[in-house]
Each structure stands twice: as C-alpha cells, then as structure tokens.
Amino acid sequence: MFKVLQEVNDRPAPFQFYTADELWTNEHTSKHMLEYHLNESIDASSRKKSFIERSVRWIVSHFKVDKNTEIADFGCGPGLYTTRLAERGAIVTGIDFSNNSLMYAKQVAAEKGLNINYVLTNYLDFETIDSFDLITMIMCDFCVLSPERRKEMLIKFNSLLKPDGSVLLDVYSLNSFNQKEESATYELNQLNGFWSPDDYYCFVNTFKYEKEKVILDKYTIIEETRKRVVYNWLQCYSKDSIINEFGENGFKVEELYADVAGKAFSSESTEIAIVAKKS
C-alpha cells in the first residue's frame, strides 16, 4: 500500500510519458469523450457550440475561405469545425486517432452530403501528397506534446503547407499556468465512471514544473484487477516563447489573438491563438 501511494505521488520528469491514446482512443473513455465533445454547453473536449460557430465565422472571413481553400484540421475530433468549414465550400481533411469521433464525423458528413477526407491516424504519423492553405490544431492540443513531438509537428506542418499557407492554433498562456495549483485528491469512480465501466479509485495529482512552465494532471486509475496511469501534460507559453518556438522551426508568427475566434490578444488572456506562416 505504501509503495503504491509512493508511485501515485511520484512526480515524473516533464513529458516523460505519452499516454494520449489511453485518454482518447480507449473504447470506454472515447465514448465519454464523444459525449463531452457534443455537449453544447460545456468547454470540455470541444468548446461550446456558440464559440465554435463564432470561430468558424472568423476563420472563414479572416482566411478568405472559399471553394478553393484546402484545409487540414489536426485532432479534428467529431468534426465540429471540419463540418462547418466544408459547409462553407472548403476542401477539408480531418485527422484524428479516435475511431469513435471519426465515425461520428463521417456519419454527419454523409447525412449532410459533404465530401470530407477523414483520416484515422496518429497525427504525428500523418502523410499525404496534398498541400494546404490552412492547417488548424484547435483547443490547445499542441500543448500536450513534448518539445520533441512539437518540433516534429511543426516540421510536418511546414512540409504540408502551400508557400503562402497559414497555421492557426491555440495554446495555454502563462496566466493559465499561474492560475493552476498543485493538488492531490482521490475519488471513487472519479468523473462519473469516465475511466471504466467497473468501480475504480482515481487518484488525481496535479504537478507544476516552474522552470519549464508545464502542468501535469496525472490520473492513477486503480480497479480491482488492474492499475493504469494517464498523463495529461500542458505546456504553457508566454507571447515570446510561442513566437520563438515557431521561429526556431521554420515559421514566422504573424498575428496573435486571445482565442481562435479572433478576440484581441491581451496580457490577461488564459490562451494565446497564433497565425503563423513559413519563414
């Protein structure tokens, strides 16, 4: 018991483990995730419907999206952006490794008669001969990746963009980092059975890494016959650190906003949205 509690409370090195698939593609959790995505009134997994509609209106006008615009949405989930962008005429590819989310997205596309290219794969492995006018990665999914994976992602974005193409993505700001407190709690069937259909105890340890500006929510899920650990990392950024990271990887950040709906950037905002082009 003492040893297990030690493991539960153990602080790993930043980005030591990558367990995104356990969070998003596990048969049980991915069903709950889809419910969160589709819940129009909460900002979990996807943002609220009102925000998404505002965001798509802004994207369409800002990037002059029309029937010739080729867009790739990395981590598209159930297609809440891809569907709307395709409805505006864009040529859209959605990439995600959640089969459950993509099945939903494909069904919506079929019902609406939309031709969207959905690709079920880890976005780090995505390859195509197509090139894009706009690449999006929305709801701070860039922040969950280690520095090495983010580099890989930016190299991939760079190779997939047309010469004048843009990347639009959002990240957590240092205000998000500062607002978060370290904590350690546990609960029976935490998140209403999110982690398993069977009873479990879930220990949630939140760690902060001051130097790296990284937050970790570590979930240790203990069932009668198995124990799993899921790590949710969040890299937080200052305005300068996101500009530098893109700069070091072949991009120039051209615009900064407070969100992907074009809200003016402010030093108070908890997120930073950026528009970058190849340098």
Ligand X SMILES: C[S@@+](CC[C@H](N)C(=O)[O-])C[C@H]1O[C@@H](n2cnc3c(N)ncnc32)[C@H](O)[C@@H]1O
Interface residue list for ligand X (CB under 6 A): 20, 24, 37, 45-46, 75-77, 80, 96-98, 101, 122-124, 138-139, 141
- Exposure string (b/e) for 146-177, b if CB count within 10 Å is 16 or more? beebbeebbebbbebbeeebbbbbbbbbbbbb
| Coil vs helix vs strand at 107 | helix
CA–CA separation, 52 and 71 (whole Å): 16
Q: Which is nearer to ligand X, 169 or 221 (CB)?
A: 169
Q: Residue 248: enclosing H or E segment and its boundaries? A: helix 239-248
CA–CA separation, 159 and 161 (whole Å): 6
Q: How far is the CB of 31 from ligand X (least distance, A)?
A: 13
Q: 159: which residues sit within 8 A by CB, 6+ positions away?
A: none
Q: Which is nearer to ligand X, 150 or 218 (CB)?
A: 150
Q: How far is the CB of 82 from ligand X (least distance, A)?
A: 9
Q: Which is nearer to ligand X, 37 or 218 (CB)?
A: 37
Q: How far is the CB of 234 from ligand X (least distance, A)?
A: 11
Q: Residue 52: enclosing H or E segment and its boundaries? A: helix 49-62
Q: Which is nearer to ligand X, 116 or 222 (CB)?
A: 116
Nearest to 33 by CA among 85, 84, 104: 104
Q: How far is the CB of 201 from ligand X (least distance, A)?
A: 25
Which residue of this chain has its Cβ atom nearest to ligand X in the complex? 75
Q: How far is the CB of 202 from ligand X (least distance, A)?
A: 20
Q: Which is nearer to ligand X, 96 or 271 (CB)?
A: 96
